[in-house]
Structure 1
Amino acid sequence: MTKKQNLSHKQTRAFQPEKLSKPRDFILPEVIKNAKAHRQSLVLEIGAGKGKHALLFAKANPQKQLIAIERTRNKFEAFAKLVQVQNLANLTAIHADAIAWIVQAIAPNSITQIYLLYPNPEQHNPNQQWLNMPFFEFLLSRLQVGGKIILATNIERYIDNAEEQARELWCLPTVRQEVAIDSQRTHFEIKYLARGQTCWQITMTKPEGYQTRFDDWQALSSL
């Protein structure tokens, strides 16, 4: 861990990646090994569910490589079947805990976009919200300058807190907007909008010169 001084954010609690165990049966995907050589943009989706957004994104962006992570087995198995049938070369589905897997696999300054679509936090446990986690600093270190994190939710208290944390704690330029009523990125999004609920999205951008404790921390699989 380096650059403990002059950090670009105000998070005092430090994430400890060295304490995480490697996910079971971990294999570094070829797409990560080859992305730099082929000058391909790497995009990350955390909590891909049954893969609706991942499949739509991969089809619409053939020039980008999407890595979509889902922890729940039954959702991942449904997702993996669709990936196999549709045979999209630019989509890699991963069954793992996202935090441990990212520590193992993702190098600093290598991701252009990160999607966090409709996470389902325990509302009485704010520590489970992404922007309240010390891990969020590590995630920012994996993002390229100008890269974006997109978070969507139907929970107004969640989006209010995320917007405040993004600006005040993480010191990130942030844009908040309502999700269009005809958006269909995920099954949750379709369900919420059909019920007449409002969904929100914030887009956070990593600015030039942004410093974290983990800017020189290499993925453990490459050590």
Structure 2
Amino acid sequence: MTDNLELSHQQERAFQPQRLSAPRDFMQPAALLKPELSLVLEIGAGKGKHALSFAMQNSDKYLIAIERTRNKFEAFKKLAAQQNSANLTAIHADAIAWIVHAIAPNSIDSIYILYPNPEQHNPNQQWLNMPFFEFLLSRLQAGGKIILATNIETYMDNAEQQANEVWCLPNTRSQVASSSQRTHFEVKYLARQETCWELSMKKPKGYQTRFDKWTTDTLTI
């Protein structure tokens, strides 16, 4: 643990997971009880374009994809049932509350946050600006990655700055290839010849958060 890291995110206002109730009808997917699985998380899966493709192309990984909006989730759920991938679970819930009650520390291999709401009028709700991001990092394995994509350059500028200055995460910023088709938003933006950006952040070995041993009574892992 570096002095720089001690003076950065652990100086920030702490997230308070104990205040969050479990989502309605909450159930832990059976996959979370199997430590041998390589777990991947997608936050804001939309209608599931990336999740469905990822599950087909990565049979060695288990993807849990969360979507809060009901109409998008219902479309995703229907497509997921048709594809019937054994390595995919679609979850309808608020991602923050669900992660707090479902995911154990140091258990996720990688996390995808593709084209989130840019929250241009409420920057405190951007993912890397939220105290919750520290909790999210505690769920990630050492060496694991968070992949963020957006078509809003100012959002990406801020995310890159926060990754460097607050969260002290090694990261790589790149331009998304014009041929990429991971999500419906990505297809639309690239078709309009907009630039899309990706930030890949890695959790270093020895990285510490204030939630590394924090669980709820719900957790059984």
Same fold? TM cut 0.5? yes
Quickly name the TM-score band, shorter chain normalised. Answer: over 0.9
The CA RMSD over aligned residues, in Å, is 1.2
Which residue does the alignment assign to 1:22?
Answer: 22
Distance 1:79 1:95 in 2: 10
**What does 1:75-94 align with in structure 2 at a 5 Å threshold?**
75-94=72-91
Q: Is the 8 A contact 1:70 1:97 kept in 2?
A: yes
Q: Once the two structures are aligned, what percentage of the paired residues are identical?
A: 72
Distance 1:79 1:45 in 2: 13
Q: Is the 8 A contact 1:43 1:64 kept in 2?
A: yes
For residue 203 of structure 1, give the secondary structure of its aligned residue in structure 2. strand
- With normalisation by structure 2, the TM-score equals 0.95
Q: Is the 8 A contact 1:8 1:170 kept in 2?
A: no
Determine if the alignment matches structure 1 residue 116 to structure 2 residue 113: yes
Q: Is the 8 A contact 1:71 1:95 kept in 2?
A: yes
TM superposition shift of 1:24: 0.3
TM superposition shift of 1:127: 0.6
Q: Is the 8 A contact 2:31 2:37 kept in 1?
A: no
TM superposition shift of 1:8: 7.5
* Runs of 5+ consecutive residues of structure 2 not aligned to the other structure: none
Determine if the alignment matches structure 1 residue 103 to structure 2 residue 108: no
Determine if the alignment matches structure 1 residue 126 to structure 2 residue 123: yes
Which residue does the alignment assign to 2:219?
Answer: 222
1:52 to 27, 37, 49: 49
For residue 218 of structure 2, give the secondary structure of its aligned residue in structure 1. helix
Distance 2:65 2:183 in 1: 13
> Could you list the per-position Cα deviations for residues 126-185 of structure 1 after superposition, in whole angstroms to 9, with x for gaps in the alignment?
011000000000000000000000000000000000000000000000100000000000
Query: Structure 1 residue runs of 4+, over 3 Å off?
Result: 6-9
Which has the higher relative contact order, 1 or 2, with Cα contacts under 8 A spaced 6 or more apart?
Answer: 1
TM superposition shift of 1:9: 3.8
* Runs of 5+ consecutive residues of structure 1 not aligned to the other structure: 1-5
Which residue does the alignment assign to 1:135?
Answer: 132
Which residue does the alignment assign to 2:143?
Answer: 146
Q: Is the 8 A contact 2:118 2:152 kept in 1?
A: no
- With normalisation by structure 1, the TM-score equals 0.94
> Could you list the per-position Cα deviations for residues 51-95 of structure 1 after superposition, in whole angstroms to 9, with x for gaps in the alignment?
000001000000100000000000000000011011000000000
Q: Is the 8 A contact 1:7 1:212 kept in 2?
A: no
> Could you list the per-position Cα deviations for residues 10-42 of structure 1 after superposition, in whole angstroms to 9, with x for gaps in the alignment?
3510000000011000011111112x1xx1100
Which residue does the alignment assign to 1:3?
Answer: none
Q: Is the 8 A contact 1:41 1:111 kept in 2?
A: yes
Q: Count the aligned residue pairs.
A: 215
Q: Is the 8 A contact 1:107 1:219 kept in 2?
A: no
For residue 207 of structure 2, give the secondary structure of its aligned residue in structure 1. coil
Q: Is the 8 A contact 1:153 1:201 kept in 2?
A: yes
Which residue does the alignment assign to 2:158?
Answer: 161
